[in-house]
A and B are shown apart, each in its own frame.
Chain A
Amino acid sequence: MSDFSRRKFLRLTATAPLAASVLGTNALAETGKSLAPITGTTAAAPKTVRSFAPMTQQVARKRIQEQHLPNLSMFTHEGKRVLFYDDLVKNKVVTLNFFYTHCDEVCPLVTANLVKVQKLLGAQVGRDIHMYSFTLKPEEDSVDVIRNYRKKFGAGWTFLTAAPKDMEKLRVAIGFTYPDPAIDKDTTQHIGNVRYGNEPLMYWSACPGMAHAEFVAETLQWIIHPR
């Protein structure tokens, strides 16, 4: 947050409506409304506190979606137009990783490894778990290019391309970044991890794309059939 927006934020919080609503599990207020102190609370309750929207599973899920799973328009290797959140991730168990076709170091290793993972998962892929690979260089990787790349590796999951600015948005949203901006820009150092998640249950983590395929497959089973 820049200095300016931080100051602005602090000013906003200082003037936000306040309500006594901290004791008791149901003491939740709607944003922007003040509440009278809840009867039965102790005298220790502060006179004024800021009010907050209720915490629910829906709020939590929406927060994850808004911050990390943008509903961007993309094209599959078959040229089909899809929306990232609505069509690819919502209500699904997924893996997300990045590649580009001219990458000669990490990507071929990861893609070949994921082919092994796919074989280990067998018929679950496309049914219980959906695997997606996104190109880091959409300006080079058209639908035809990624279709050929997919075929070359014998991969059985979905490869995607999109407008460069959208792909960059997705990369940042799923946290595939490096804190040093110079290294972050260097595509040869791009993140080789595989993000995995169970969207409706809100279980998310990541594993190295180059980890042993057997272990990656085992890891994915934990979120397909949580245990």
Chain B
Amino acid sequence: MYYNVFGEKVSKRRYKEMCDAAKNRRELIAAGLTSRRDLMKMGLLTAGGMLVAKSGLSARAQTQSQTGAGAPATRTNNPPSSGSNTSPGTNQNCVPGNQTQSPTTKPFVTPLPIMPIAAKTALNTFDPQPTNDPNTSSGADGTEHRAFGHQGPERFPGLFPAATMLGNNYYKIHQRQFTTNQMSPQLPPQTIWGFDDGTHGPISPGPTYQAFYGVPQMTRNINSLPNINQVNNTGFGFPSVTTHLHNAHNPSESDGNPCDFYANGQFCDQYYPNVLAGFSTPQFSGTMGDINEALATLWYHDHRVDFTSQNTYKGLTGFYCLFNNLDTGDESTGFHLPSFPQFDIPLHFSDKVFDPNTGDLVFDLFNLDGILGDKFLVNGVIQPFLHVQPRRYRFRLLDVGPSRFYQFFLTGNINSNPTTNPFWLIGTDGNLIPAPVQVTSVRIGPAERVDVIIDFSSFAGQTLYLENRLNQLNGQGPVAVDSQLFTQDEAVNTECTNVLAKTTPAIKMAGSGDLILQFQVSSKAVKDGSADPRTQTFYSLPSTTDTPRLVRTFKFDRLNGQWSINGQFMDCGIGPSGFSETFRFTVQENSSEHWLLTNLTGDWTHPVHIHLEEHRILSRNRKPPTVPTDLGRKDVTQLHPNERVELFFRFRDWLHKYPIHCHNVVHEDHAMMALWHIEATGDNIQVP
């Protein structure tokens, strides 16, 4: 099955022409016709930078036999070109990016660490004491760096307690440098950064928050990393931080804005209201929000503008699990999901590179495209194993990036004839979907999460693996992820990627992918108090039928290596206040909008993340989404090459500044981000 850039099925012949056009263009350039002038002189390039619609040269040109003479090169309903001179319509995920060469390590010798539950800290140890407005006095914890007052107690005093009235729900978390040998017994100790809750010491991934709806809490995030003015570095990382709680429906002063960063000696009190979206609207004020907007699997990470990729790679990431009276964390109540934390386990996936000579964790500081590692870590350990009982488990899978996409399969019988085993998808981006869906694989990109149920009861005594079979060569995105050229689950030979001198499959064969996590299933039968996914239902999906107040378009593009949104670049606009003061557009509180994300330049996949509110995917290239992970509520949407994705949003409750950005953090750090506001009155800017 072959598709063109508009999502239409095309014949194999037509598809071959598209590939040939890409190839011809490369040959033209290789032949020395490198300048636009040369190509224009030959009549092969239009003044607008598009290759002329000549069959065999432009991927968008079509053969006469198919469409008749004079078929337009581009459709009029495309968003206008911003003048990009990236080749149109080509799909050439070609050259391996990072030359990775880590030392060999022995897999499956270290047990999977499970991050401890974050420990609370008594309010009387806070110095200075928290205040609703940014603290003006300093103390042992340092000086506060917060943009403005806590919106919860200041705008909704009846609903949210003051900063000092949160009972025992306080956390004091230091970001610290520490040295660990956790990653592999074959590697030397590594000096990295992590989170210290005062009880468990600095760890990475950080401690897991166990939070509850209806119980507001505060985290004092203290930068205790090395002094930023002294050489105290292992070659990457910038000890200036701002900690974002990813996907939380949080007020903007506590969101961890990328521009509101601070160095050693400063802190930010982040007030997490743990409240459902819609709580301030008439429709849902009686229920403190819409239960169908309940979140479950969130994560926190550094968001320092320009340095997020280095700082998260160096360890500044962790989980935040949010429960309520349905998703209780206790399998004897509510939805009867496997009990937290024994049978409900967060899995933090990251890929890294180690120096072949020194064994040090290294980071390619000079990369613009995206960074891949050749070592796969789960919860901070390279290829760990986990003893499980023959029963159901809930796993919360998180792709930390920086740039890797995964397609996870549950592989058994690895030594002879590998088997692919089904499991249950129950949540997308940490949100329970209406009912579990049985799948044989799930694909996630940077920052995305999936919650799954794996039932080990029929595998007693066996060994299984979580295997990534997605082929990805460089930071551009997975091979043949292009949803127009290939269906998501189809294992294809990608003719367009033939530069490696052999065909590269989009999906590797069972057992020949990356075996990342080993499950050793004990043989003794056990009682399972969790519900059978076949019988379960969770929340309904919020409706998407409201007429949008506005449709905004966001074109994700690469302009001479500069990552852009609508032809513009990230701008913090930090003013005299010391905080970001500039923004591109304003959304109106209590309104719905459609956001069109477009990526028509080919080659690159962008996992696009929008803060504050979740979204639903209305269409991909004008067709309803079909992949199970696209059907639920989302906070990151994979924007594939040559794609136009339409999203539905409701904007509610909290005001002021939030970003939209690519979560391939290398793209994000190189300006593929825009700040926007939500205020009582919105604007009408359609192409911000």
Q: Does B566 contact A (CB under 8 A)?
A: no
Contact indicator B366/A204 (Cβ below 8 Å): yes
Q: Across the interface, do A182 and B559 meet the contact criterion of CB distance under 8 Å?
A: no
Count of inter-chain pairs, beta carbons less than 8 A: 218
Query: Which residues in A have their C-beta under 8 angstroms from that of B563?
Result: 208
User: In the complex, how many angstroms separate the beta carbon of A115 from the nearest chain B beta carbon?
Assistant: 18
Contact yes or no, B186 A179, CB < 8 A: no
> A60 to B365, alpha carbons, bound, how many Å?
12
A59 touches B358 (CB 8 A): yes
Question: B186 contacts A50, CB within 8 Å?
Answer: yes
Residue pair B307, A205 in contact (C-beta under 8 Å) = yes
A100 CB to closest chain B CB, in angstroms? Answer: 11
Is A189 in contact with B560, judged by CB distance below 8 angstroms? yes
User: Which of A13, A63, A202 is within 8 Å of B103, CB to CB?
Assistant: A13
Which B residues between 223 and 259 are near A, CB-CB below 8 angstroms? 228-236, 238, 240
Q: Restricting to B585-629, which residues have a CB under 8 Å from any CB of A? A: 603
> Are B238 and A203 touching (Cβ within 8 A)?
yes
Closest to A201 in B: B231
Q: How far is the CA of A208 from the CA of B100 in the complex (A)?
A: 27
Q: Does B364 make an interface contact (CB < 8 A)?
A: yes
Annotate A198-227 by CB proximity to B: 1 below 8 A, 0 otherwise.
001111111111111011001100100011
A136 to chain B, nearest CB (A): 11
Please tell me the number of chain B residues within 8 Å of chain A, measured between CB atoms. 82
B570 at the interface (CB under 8 A from A): yes
Q: How far is the CB of B142 from chain A (nearest CB, A)?
A: 14
Q: Are A14 and B104 in contact (CB under 8 A)?
A: yes
Q: Looking at the complex, which of B25-33, B129-137, B527-535 is the stretch in contact with chain A?
A: B25-33
Q: Which of A13, A202, A210 contacts B236 (CB 8 A)?
A: A202
- Chain A residues within an 8 Å CB radius of B30: 181-182, 185
Is A77 engaged at the interface, CB distance under 8 Å to the other chain?
no
A84: shortest Cβ distance to chain B, in Å? 14
A56 CB to closest chain B CB (Å) equals 9
Type the 1/0 row for B667-681, where 1 means its CB is closer than 8 Å to any CB of A: 001110000000000
Q: Mark A158-198, 1 if CB is under 8 A from B, else 0.
A: 00000000000000011111111111011111111101000
B574-A55 in contact (CB<8A): no
A189 touches B85 (CB 8 A): yes
Contact code string B181-202 (vs A, CB < 8 Å = 1, else 0): 1000111111100000000000
Stretch at the interface among A20-28, A126-134, A144-152: A20-28
Contact A176 B368 (CB under 8 A): yes
Chain B residues positioned under 8 Å from A85 (CB to CB) = none
Is there contact, CB below 8 Å, between A46 and B186?
yes
List the B residue with the shortest CB-CB distance to A55: B360
- Interface positions, chain B 83-118, Cβ under 8 Å from A, are 85-87, 92-95, 97, 99-101, 103-104, 106, 109
Query: Which residue numbers of B lie inside 8 Å of A, CB to CB?
Result: 25-27, 29-30, 34-36, 85-87, 92-95, 97, 99-101, 103-104, 106, 109, 179, 181, 185-191, 228-236, 238, 240, 261-263, 306-307, 310, 355-360, 362, 364-369, 474-476, 499, 559-564, 569-574, 603, 669-671
Other A-B pairs, 20, CB within 8 Å; known A14-B104, A52-B188: A25-B189, A52-B358, A105-B36, A106-B559, A106-B560, A175-B366, A181-B94, A182-B26, A182-B29, A185-B29, A188-B35, A189-B85, A195-B366, A201-B231, A202-B231, A205-B670, A206-B368, A208-B559, A208-B563, A212-B573
Q: List 28 A-B contacts (CB under 8 A).
A: A13-B103, A22-B185, A25-B179, A27-B181, A46-B186, A60-B233, A61-B235, A68-B366, A175-B368, A177-B368, A178-B561, A179-B369, A180-B92, A180-B603, A181-B499, A182-B30, A183-B29, A183-B87, A185-B34, A186-B34, A189-B85, A202-B233, A207-B569, A207-B671, A211-B569, A211-B570, A212-B573, A222-B240
